[in-house]
């Protein structure tokens, strides 16, 4: 039986920061309380499955015999016809009748996830991404106007960085871009790209982190402070 928590190898808590053109900008020191956490598969799995359950819609619905149309009159008299006795054409054994024991939209799939678990799972998922070399720190991300072509140029430039070559070419779930403050220009410029998701750092969660292959933290010093505040 595998253990849920594993002590990770020593990781360098000083990372390189790049510009949106893919050039080196500087370095940033990372807190061990986030980027040095050990991997806890059980915790992350419990939180992620819980969040998916909370997002699940109870849309499957069938009508029972009290909801289908017709059947107000007894099909035929009780005796003397030679046929089986029936009281309503809405019976489940009739064609177009009600459904017995079918799915109902009243079902609630939501589960309770304590806040401490959600925050710890987020930090653990970020630490795992960082240990695997899949967290990219970008000094700033700015576009002059709402234009998908400009957003594509940024991805191509980030793809030139060693270890992040799949960002512009990966077809699904390529990168989660976390910005301190979400802007309309960035949101709409990247909206047409199904493999990229823009999220404000304050709203980032463990499900977002594990869904995408890469995590791009924009304005790392500010973003790290926001994550630390969430953990506290």
Nearest to 121 by CA among 198, 14, 210: 210
What percent of the chain has a predicted confidence (pLDDT) above 70?
A: 96
Task: Give, in order, the Cα–Cα distances in Å from 180 to each of 106, 113, 200, 220.
Answer: 38, 25, 6, 9
**pLDDT for position 7:** 44
* Sign of torsion over alpha carbons 100, 104, 106, 107: positive
Measure the CA–CA gap between 32 and 24, rounded to whole angstroms. Answer: 23
Q: What is the pLDDT of residue 1?
A: 40
Give per-residue pLDDT as tens, 49-96: 999 999 998 889 999 999 999 888 899 999 999 999 999 999 999 999
In angstroms, rounded to a whole number, what is the distance separating the alpha carbons of residues 41 and 6?
A: 9
Question: Which pair of tokens denotes residue 113?
Answer: 């996830």
Task: Say what the pLDDT of residue 94 is.
Answer: 94
The β-bridge relationship of strands 175-179 and 135-138 is unpaired
Average confidence (pLDDT) over 199-218: 96
pLDDT surpasses 60 at 12: yes
Write the pLDDT tens digit of every residue in 107-137: 889 999 999 999 999 999 999 999 999 999 9
Domains of the chain, first to last? 5-56+113-231 (3.40.1370.10), 58-108 (no CATH)
Per residue in 137-172, pLDDT (tens digit) is: 999 999 999 999 999 999 999 999 999 999 999 999
Chain segment 15-61, per-residue pLDDT in tens: 999 999 999 999 999 999 999 999 999 999 999 999 999 999 888 99
Q: What is the pLDDT of residue 107?
A: 86
d(CA 150, CA 33): 36
């Amino acid at each position: 039986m595998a253990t849920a928590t594993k002590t990770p190898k020593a990781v360098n808590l000083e990372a390189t920061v790049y510009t949106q053109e893919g050039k080196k900008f500087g370095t940033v020191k990372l807190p061990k309380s986030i980027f040095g956490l050990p991997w806890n598969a059980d915790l992350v799995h419990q939180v992620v499955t819980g969040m998916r359950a909370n997002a699940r819609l109870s849309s499957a619905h069938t009508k029972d015999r009290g909801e289908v149309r017709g059947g107000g009159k007894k099909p035929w008299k009780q005796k003397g016809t030679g046929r089986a006795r029936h009281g309503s054409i809405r019976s489940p054994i009739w064609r177009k009748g009600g459904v017995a024991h079918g799915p109902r939209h009243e079902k609630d799939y939501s589960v309770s996830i304590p806040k401490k678990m959600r925050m710890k799972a987020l930090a653990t998922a970020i630490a795992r991404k960082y240990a695997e070399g899949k967290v990219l720190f970008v000094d700033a991300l700015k576009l002059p106007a709402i234009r998908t072509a400009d957003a594509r140029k940024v991805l191509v430039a980030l793809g030139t960085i060693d270890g992040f070559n799949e960002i512009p070419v990966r077809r699904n779930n390529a990168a989660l871009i976390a910005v301190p403050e979400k802007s309309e220009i960035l949101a709409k410029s990247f909206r047409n790209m199904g493999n990229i998701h823009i999220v404000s750092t304050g709203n980032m969660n463990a499900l977002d982190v594990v869904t995408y292959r890469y995590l791009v933290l924009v304005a790392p010093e500010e973003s790290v402070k926001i994550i630390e505040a969430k953990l506290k």
